[in-house]
Amino acid sequence: MSTATPSPEPAMLPDPNSKRRRGGRYSWWAPYVFIGPFVILFLVFTVYPLLYSVIMAMQYNDGPKSAAFVGLTNFKRVLSDPVFWRAMKNTFLFAAASIFIKLPCSLGLALLLNREDIRARGFWRLIFFSPVLVGLAFVAVLFSLIFEKNTGLLNVMLESGTQWLNGYLPFIGVWDIEFPWLQEWVLTAIIIASFWMYVGFNMVYFLAALQSVSKELLEAAEVDGAGPWHRFLNVTVPAILPVGMFVVLLSFLGSMQLFELPYLLLGPGGGPQGRGLTVVMYLYENGFNAGNLGYASAVGWILAVILFGFAMVQKFLAGKDDI
Amino acid sequence: MNWQLTRGEKIFQTLNALVLGVIAVSMIYPFIYIISISLSTPAEASRGGLHLFPREISLAAYKLVLSDSAILAGFGNSTLRMVLGTTLTLVATCLAAYPLARPGMPHRGLLTFLILFTMVFTGGMVPNYLLIQELGLLNSRWALILPVMITAFNVIVVKNFFQAIPESLWESARIDGASEWTILFRIYIPLSGPVLATVALWTMVFHWNSWFDAMLYITDDSKQVLQIFLQRIVVDNATEALETGVSSDQASSFTPETIKAATVVVTLVPIMLVYPFLQRFFTKGIMLGSVKG
């Protein structure tokens, strides 16, 4: 990837001679004034809540005003709660689906689009990219219609699909499909909705990475008799690996913090028997509905440690210290 | 280039186009589906199966949605949030990026650290809420703007772009006596149109689509954002709220589904307006700051 380079034309610049000469001295403090808002907002809205949550995680709250120091008790209680582990399992399953199903599809899509014989690449790219622009509330409304048990698009299509198949393969029979997507197949439903929303978004990363793959190298490999598979493995993959790692990291971080989509589609409890309960939903339930803020902060820290660990492993594997 | 394609290549090309076409349809069709439902009569909307274009068109759901004062207020609040939030983000991001782009500022390691930091540790819902409460920002529009005003990510994107501006421009401006302020606003910012457009579009879309912070921090319906009404409609199935005070013969002209769909389409309007620009800046901007090399 190259940073876009602007090509400034000197003629575009204001004529320095026509300007009033003022502030000519180099002011050492100017950078600090400029960067001040950033630092202040960063301290207030990132660092302070973080420190706050360390203290809170070691407190027991009974209502918003009462707090008692309890050390690591919150962590022990979280880790021994089966509901927490169910939420963890759901979240990890979702993350695994994101990384092992969605990302390969994004890459595949990017490879298809990257072929030289594709016309109007920008048009395709925009179409695949559109779902991410419309927002989670939109996606939730949309999929609440699509996943509807009786008249929803998905079940209707599945049903007519089997009817059509039955014409050729009569032994299949006609299935009267009424998959209760949002009642039982909850996690699958969330994975499908999120797949629809993000597959094109990740594709754009891969597509941009693919465009930086050296064409000379690919041609040289072809001349040397390497087949498409070998060219992909030995030329393309190494070239797009840094971006790939970055996308995996982003996907993992995003998946582990999954909250809004299941919250909107299933309600705060994560659907029947918490089938779609995620870690952040568990945190929200305990913090805001049950009012146990310390407990919720402990959940937040456990999650943060997992994310940080993954980021460190990724950084170590990527072997670079520069973003 | 070799235009003599073998048979195998032709088959592959057709397959490729077919696969792309099918995926594109599955990306676009839901939009058509929801627009079609929103324009349907109740009988048409409750029919299962594919909806492409309603056989009987009814604008009743739109009339209902657009005459709802809460939704209109939400539209206004969302617009205000988007405009104010984006403006402040642009100004603050440029201010922060400028000194970081200047040589001699010890920033690289720190910035790398910050971006990783904010990616992994996002404060957390609970302490954030308490912070907003302590700052007295509950039920204030600022609660939706200040915490997300500057992100390390945006700063890095803009910083990288600023760094590509030739150093000689800065030097000659300094020799001519321009202050840092003047250099930033008269030279750097005018030269950075594409990257600023990218940041602006991202921020606009982000603000328009956000709902969770509004749900936590805003309790007064007159300040509520539009997406919250979507959320209420989908989570609480709260279409009844819209239907109160509607006479029974009118009530037969829409269903909860058509109301849902119409509300959704209304919330899409601003995104549709910036859509033509997105193609140019959005996808390009995705890569700008994320990974270098």
Q: Which of A27, A117, A138 sits opposite B264 (nearest CB)?
A: A138
Looking at the complex, does the CB of residue A115 fall below 8 Å from at least one CB of chain B?
Answer: yes
- Residue B290 has a pLDDT of 46
- At residue B40, φ and ψ (nearest 5 deg) are -90, 155
CB contact under 8 A, B209 and A136: yes
| CA nearest neighbour of A71 among A54, A48, A50 | A54
Residues of A in contact with B102 (CB under 8 A): 31
Lowest average pLDDT, out of A1-10, A189-198, B93-102, goes to: A1-10
Distance from CA of A293 to the nearest CA of B (A): 7
Cα B248 from Cα B48, distance rounded (Å): 25
For B164, which DSSP code?
T
The boundaries of the domain holding residue A143 are 81-147+182-318
The closest CB to that of B124, out of A12, A30, A53, belongs to A53
A213 reaches B (C-beta below 8 A)? no
pLDDT value of position B19:
86
Spatial neighbors of A314 by CB under 8 A, at least 6 apart, are: A245, A248, A249
User: How many CA atoms are closer than 13 Å to the CA of B160, on its beta-carbon side?
Assistant: 25
Is the pLDDT at B246 greater than 70? The verdict is: no
Total domain count, chain A: 1
Res A179 pLDDT > 50: yes
Residue A88 has pLDDT above 60, yes or no: yes
Residue B70 in this model has a pLDDT that exceeds 50: yes
Q: How far apart are the C-alpha atoms of A127 and A283, rounded to whole Å?
A: 35
Cβ(A321)–Cβ(B150) below 8 Å: no
pLDDT at B145: 93
Superfamily in which the B59-293 domain is placed by CATH: MetI-like (1.10.3720.10)
Tell me how far CA of residue B59 lies from CA of B249, B251, B257, in angstroms: 15, 13, 13
* Closest alpha carbon within chain A to B277: A126
* Lowest mean per-residue pLDDT among A18-22, A92-96, A267-271, B248-252: A18-22
Is the pLDDT at A60 greater than 90? The verdict is no
Q: What is the mean pLDDT of residues B185-193?
A: 87
The verdict on a CB contact (< 8 Å) between A21 and B37 is no
Query: Where residue A191 falls among pLDDT bands split at 50, 70, 90?
Result: very high
For position B176, what pLDDT does the model report?
A: 86
Cβ of A311 within 8 Å of Cβ of B286? The answer is no
Task: Give residue A272's pLDDT.
Answer: 80
pLDDT band at A3 (very low <50, low <70, confident <90, very high): very low
Q: Does the pLDDT of residue A5 top 50, yes or no?
A: no
Taking contacts as CB-CB distances below 8 angstroms, the residues of chain A near B191 are 6, 8, 12
pLDDT value at residue A95: 95
Residue A259 resides in a domain: yes
Partner B contacted by A134 (CB < 8 A) = yes
Chain A CB contacts of B160 under 8 Å are 3
User: Is any Cβ of chain B less than 8 angstroms from the Cβ of A70?
Assistant: no
The residue of chain B nearest to residue A322, with distances taken between CA atoms, is B112
Query: Is the Cβ pair A4, B195 closer than 8 Å?
Result: yes
Least confident stretch, A102-116, A235-249, B193-207, B236-250: B236-250
Residue partners of B212: CB distance under 8 A and separation at least 6? A259, A260, A263
Residue A289 has pLDDT above 90, yes or no: no
pLDDT value, residue A8 = 40
- Cβ separation of B112 and A242 shorter than 8 Å? no
Q: How confident is the model at residue A256 (pLDDT cuts 50, 70, 90)?
A: very high
The answer, yes or no, to whether residue A102 has pLDDT greater than 70, is yes
Assign 3-class secondary structure to chain A.
Answer: CCCCCCCCCHHHCCCHHHCCCCCCCCCCCHHHHHHHHHHHHHHHHHHHHHHHHHHHHCEEECCCCCEEECCCHHHHHHHCCHHHHHHHHHHHHHHHHHHHHHHHHHHHHHHHHCCCCCCCHHHHHHHHHHHHHCCHHHHHHHHHHHCCCCCCHHHHHHHHHHHHHHHHCHHHCCCCCCCCCCCCCHHHHHHHHHHHHHHHHHHHHHHHHHCCCCHHHHHHHHHCCCCHHHHHHHHHHHHHHHHHHHHHHHHHHHHHCCCHHHHHHHCCCCCHHHCCCCHHHHHHHHHHHCCCHHHHHHHHHHHHHHHHHHHHHHHHHHCCCCC
Q: Please report whether residue A68 resides in a domain.
A: no
A131-140, A299-308, A310-319, B156-165: least confident range: A310-319
Q: Where are the domains of chain B?
A: 59-293
Closest to A263 measured CA to CA, from A53, A80, A87:
A87
What is the rounded CA–CA span in Å between residue B72 and residue A202? 34
A contacts of B187 (beta carbons < 8 Å): 13-14
Q: Looking at residues B93-107, what average pLDDT do you find?
A: 79
Task: Give ipTM to 2 decimals.
Answer: 0.81
Q: Is the pLDDT of residue B114 over 90?
A: no
- Model pLDDT, residue B291: 41
Report the distance separating Cα A46 and Cα A306, nearest Å: 19
pLDDT at B158: 87
Dump pLDDT digits (tens) for B191-208: 888 888 888 888 998 999
Answer whether B127 sits within 8 Å of A56, measured CB to CB: yes
Nearest CA in chain A to B117: A308
User: Is the model's pLDDT at B62 over the cut of 90?
Assistant: no
Count contacts between A and B (CB, < 8 Å): 309
Cβ pair A46:B169 closer than 8 A: no
A295 inside domain: yes
Helices A121-133, B256-288: crossing angle, 10 deg rounding: 120
Given an 8 Å threshold on Cβ–Cβ distance, is A137 in contact with B234?
yes
Residue A242 lies in a domain: yes
Query: Does residue A46 sit within a domain?
Result: no
- Tell me, yes or no, whether A50 lies in a domain: no
Distance from CA of A75 to the nearest CA of B (A): 16
Quick check: B245 and B19 in contact, CB under 8 A? no
Q: Note the pLDDT tens digit of each residue in A144-176.
A: 888 877 777 777 777 777 777 777 776 766 666
What is the number of other CB atoms lying within 10 angstroms of the CB of residue B275? 14
Point out the residue among A145, A160, A243 whose CB comes nearest to the CB of B34: A145
Instruction: Report d(CA A41, CA A45) in Å as an integer.
Output: 6
Q: Which residues of A touch B19 (CB under 8 A)?
A: 112
Beta carbons within 8 Å of B145's beta carbon, 6+ residues apart:
B81, B84, B85, B88
| pLDDT range class, residue A23, cuts 50, 70, 90 | very low
Q: Is residue A45 assigned to a domain? A: no
Burial code of A79-96, b = ≥16 C-beta within 10 A, e = fewer? eeeeebebbbebbbebbe
Contact (CB<8Å) A138/B235? no
Measured CA to CA, the distance from residue A226 to residue A219 in angstroms comes to: 10
In a domain, A197, yes or no: yes
CATH number at residue A210: 1.10.3720.10
* pLDDT confidence bin for A17, thresholds 50/70/90: very low
Q: Do residue B125 and residue A151 have CB atoms under 8 angstroms apart?
A: no
* Best CA proximity match to A86, nearest among A297, A253, A252, A276: A276
What DSSP assignment string belongs to B263-286? HHHHHHHHHHHHHHHHHHHHHHHH
Looking at residue B165, what DSSP letter applies?
S
- For A256-285, what is the mean pLDDT? 87
The whole-number pLDDT of residue A12 equals 39
Instruction: Find out whether B43 and B57 touch, Cβ atoms under 8 Å.
Output: no
Please compute the mean of the pLDDT values over residues A278-300 and round it to a whole number: 89
Quote the tokens at residue A149: 């048990």
- At B22-39, the pLDDT tens digits run 888 888 888 888 888 888
pLDDT for residue A49: 87
Closest to B153 in 3D by CA, of B102, B81, B206, B106: B206
Give residue for tokens 């993954």. Answer: A310
A190 confidence band (pLDDT: 50, 70, 90): very high
Cβ distance A260 to B211 less than 8 Å, yes or no, reads yes
| pLDDT beyond 80 at B234 | no
Contact yes or no for B37 and A145 at CB 8 A:
yes
Determine the pLDDT at residue A22.
43
Residue to test with chain A: of B12, B191, B287, most A Cβ within 10 A: B287
Q: Is the Cβ pair A23, B177 closer than 8 Å?
A: yes
Cβ of B95 within 8 Å of Cβ of A37? The answer is: yes
Which pLDDT does position B235 carry in this prediction?
Answer: 65
Comparing CB atoms, the residue among B127, B192, B194 nearest residue A53 is B127
> A182 — contact with chain B (CB < 8 Å)?
no
What token pair was written down for B229?
Answer: 């009404």
- CB proximity A313 to B under 8 Å: no
DSSP B116: H
Greatest CA span in chain A, whole angstroms? 89
pLDDT of residue B86: 95
3 state DSSP class of B291: coil
Model pLDDT, residue A106:
93
Beta carbons of B164 and A48 less than 8 Å apart? no
- Across the interface, whether the CB atoms of B287 and A205 are under 8 A apart is answered yes
